Structure formats: C-alpha cells, structure tokens
Amino acid sequence: MQSISGFSKMPKAKKLEWIAQAVSETPENFIADFKKFWHQDESTQKLFDEFSENTISNYYMPYGLAPNVMINDKRYAVPMVIEESSVVAAASKAAKFWQDKGGFKAKIIATKKIGQVHFLWKGDFNKLYCVFDELKERMLDDTASITKNMRERGGGILDIELVDKRDLEPDYYQLKATFDTCDSMGANFINSCLETFAKSLQNWLMEKDMFVGEEKDATIIMCILSNYTPECLVRAWVECPIEDLGMVEDLDAPTFAFKFSRAIEIAKNDVYRATTHNKGIFNGIDAVVLATGNDFRAVEACGHTYASRSGQYRSLSDCSLEGGKFKFWLDIPIAVGTVGGLTALHPLAKRSLEILGNPNAEELMQIIAVTGLAQNFGAVKSLVTTGIQKGHMKMHLLNILRNFEATEKEVAQAVEHFKTEVVSFTAVRELLEKLRADQIQYKK
Ligand code: MEV
C-alpha cells in the first residue's frame, strides 16, 4: 500500500475512496458497504466522527438486555453490548436461576483511584522526605482550582506519597497520589492534577534554598493515572443452601455444587483454565461497560492484573460449600463513571444509564460485577452439566446459516436436523447443499 500524507485532513468520503481504491477490486461495492452504516442523521454522524479520528464509517454491535437481574433486592434489566452469541442468553438465564434464591448481592469495598508522577532526581532522599509535607501542601494548593468541583461533590485528592523506587531504577522516584473521583471515571481529572504536581515539584525544588546544585532539578518522565485500581473494588455474590439449587440439568444439587466448586478450584490454580474462566467473566463485564459508555480496556487491564496479584494469574471468582451453603463470589476492581466522558455524549450510553435507573458510579460498579458473576455462573454451570456446545451451538448454527444466506425454510429445516446432529460449519454447508440440490431436483 502506498504512503499517504494529509489523510487526517481529507473529508470522510475521500478517505473512504482512497482506501477503496487501495485495497478493493470492486471499489464501488466497498464504498457502498461502508456508507450503508453512515448514520442518516447528520448531527448524530458528526458526533460519532468526533469520538475518534480518521473515521470512515460506524461499526455496529448488537445491543441486548438481560432482564430479571435482582441485585440487593432491586430488579434491573441490564443493557449489554456484545457481538458474541449466547452471552446475553447466559446472563439472563443465570439471573432467572437466582431470582427466587435471594438474587445477587453486591457491595463496594473501596473506591480509590491512583495516579503517578514518575521522576528522576539526584539528591539526598532523606532531605526531600523530611520536608515532603511542605511540598504536599504546595501541590494541594496548586491544584485547588482543578479540584474545587470534585471537592464540592465530596471527592478530590485523598493523599500524595513520595515513593523511593531506586531499587528498580537509579534516581527513580514517584509521587503516588490517591483520588476519589465520585461519579466520574476521573481520568482527565487525575491526569490534570498529576501534571500540576509535576510543575509544583519542579518549581518548589528551584525555590527552596535547602536544595543545591543538581538537587534543584527533577526530570519528570511522565504523569499518568494507573489503570490498576485494586482499591476501587466491588464484591458480588450469590448464596443459598446447597439443597435449594435443586436439580441442575441432570445433576442433583450436591453433585452440581461439588462439580461447580471443583471447576472454580481448577480455575484458581491452572493458568490456562483461569484465562478462559476470566474471559467468561469479562464477557459480562465488558458488555455492560461498553453499553454504559465506559472504558472496557481499562476495566479489562485492571481485572487481569488483579487476577495476578498473588504472583500467579488466577480465577477472579471463588466458591465455597461450607456449612451446607453454596456461596459463589467475585471480587473485582472496576473503575467506571456515570457522569462525564462518553456516558454523557453517546446517546445510547445515556439510555443505558436510564434503563439502569440512572445509577451513581458505585451502583454501576455493583451492576457490572454482578453481570460478570452471572455470566461466569452461566458458563461454569453449562460446562459442568450439559457442556458448553449444546447452548452455544444452537446460536452458532443460526450465525452459520446467516453466513450461507439460508432462507427461513432452510433455517427451520436445519434447526430440526441439528437437534440430533453435531453442528459444524462443514455439516451445515453440506446440509444446505443437499437441501438446495433437492429443491432443484424437485423443480425439474
Ligand atoms: C466463551 O466466550 C466463554 C467461556 O469459554 C467461558 C468459560 O469457559 O468459563 C464459555
């Protein structure tokens, strides 16, 4: 492909034309496919174009609802944006399963966010450490105008620490700050504070007579929030007497509970299983995070780091069968907001929050964690009973049929046929070939 300059300045249609000419043998069809997804309402399209850069179209994702999700005795219909079949169905099924067993419970354990100024400094650490409280005051003063609104809402900067990191790198220190960002995810707020801290540090060193020579100079490497927020933590759980689980598919309650708890134990100890297990949790989590206009990459990155906090990557969820009780829970850090960012801009993110009853950030954290737990319960329940393919393949079959542009009649015939046969891409193709050949034969 040829290099291009000035791409970002080109109008959208020209960008599309350029890529079509560069990669497609049928540029007109290529352009038409992308244009099909341009929003008919110009102002909505402009909004979407402005979320990102160099846009040539919109990429649609299915938006579904998982109804009947009882959390702390309140019923929700949870919006989920996800392209994978079976996920919304599994969450809905799990919600229904727990509905008459007390529903899901959730609680916030902590809501602290973290940011760091990474800097290099050649000087006497003890000297700096002894007067750090003075610098801290200075940093709080210098950020007062940035933090005013947040303080009025009950949040702001909670603490700033000076951390000696010379065991990792020569002359390396951090200003490690904790924040309460109330109902916003807070990335911009935190980063603005950090960049101001860096300037305060540099000015303060220059001004203070006790620092001399190279001590006057701190090299700021970078200022950035950390997406690892182990102290922005929520717990979601379900529990009931083992007997109340009833028959689960063809397993009696104690057998199901036993197999389920073993599956969790395996995911706690085997990295290969843990990764797939946690992927199932994020099927639920990401879908709600996306639907509410939050940053799913941040939530995922954080969750996976948290899963490794013992030094080995492990299951995020846990299960116990003590005292005749089945208890299944998930502790997970989730940094999300219900104000600011895309939550206010994306028309459907706003509607998602409306569907959830306009929760604050803490309530949303609980809803998201519960959806992850529901998803995980649904997946592991299938795995230890019928196997995952039974439910999965039913949905998958419809996707494959869509791929082959099956007619309604063919879909009905295929669904009937695969009630007793194993679904595979090849098996579906062969069946359709046969049905279509029979049809031609019949017409002759
Ligand atoms: C598929 O998207 C997710 C599962 O693999 C999760 C799991 O294995 O627990 C079904």
Hey, whose CA ends up nearest to atom 6 of ligand 1? 280
Ligand 1: which atom is nearest the Cα of residue 87?
2
Write down the architecture of domain 113-226 according to CATH.
2-Layer Sandwich (3.30)
Name every residue whose Cβ is closer than 8 Å to that of residue 114 and which is 6 or more positions away in sequence.
176, 177, 178, 179, 225, 226, 228, 229, 231
Domain 64-110+233-386 CATH assignment equals 1.10.1200.10 = no
Catalytic residues: 84, 279, 295, 392
Digit-coded pLDDT (tens) for 3-21? 999 999 999 999 999 999 9
Instruction: Report the half-sphere exposure of 372 (CA within 13 A, side-chain side).
Output: 33
The confidence score (pLDDT) of residue 389 equals 74
pTM over 0.75: yes
Lowest mean pLDDT among 92-101, 391-400, 430-439: 391-400
Contacts of 392 (CB under 8 A, 6+ apart): 85, 86, 382
Ligand 1 center–CA 279 separation, angstroms = 6
Cα–ligand 1 centroid distance for 400 (angstroms): 20
CA of 91 to the centre of ligand 1 (A): 12
DSSP string over 64-104: EEEEEEEETTEEEEEEEE--STTHHHHHHHHHHHHHTTT-B
Mutate to test the pocket of ligand 1, among 266, 277, 328, 375 (most ligand atoms within 8 A of CB): 277
Model pLDDT for residues 298-328, shown as the tens digit of each residue: 999 999 999 999 999 999 999 999 999 999 9
**Separation between Cα atoms, residue 105 and residue 71, nearest integer Å:** 5
* Band of pLDDT at residue 247, cut at 50, 70 and 90: very high
pLDDT in tens, 56-113: 999 999 999 999 999 999 999 999 999 998 899 999 999 999 999 999 999 999 999 9
Pick the atom of ligand 1 nearest to 273's CA. Answer: 8
The residue whose CB lies within 8 Å of the most ligand 1 atoms, and thus the one to mutate among 266, 276, 319, 328, is 276
Q: How far apart are CA 438 and CA 107, in angstroms?
A: 60
The residue whose CB lies within 8 Å of the most ligand 1 atoms, and thus the one to mutate among 385, 388, 393, is 388
Compute, in angstroms, the gap from residue 99 CA to the centroid of ligand 1. Answer: 22
Which residues have any ligand 1 atom within 6 Å of their CB?
84, 276-277, 279-280, 283, 379-380, 383, 388
**Is pLDDT larger for residue 293 or for residue 442?**
293
With bands split at pLDDT 50, 70 and 90, how would you rate the model's confidence at 444? low
- Pairwise CA distance, residues 441 & 56, whole Å: 46
d(CA 218, CA 173): 10
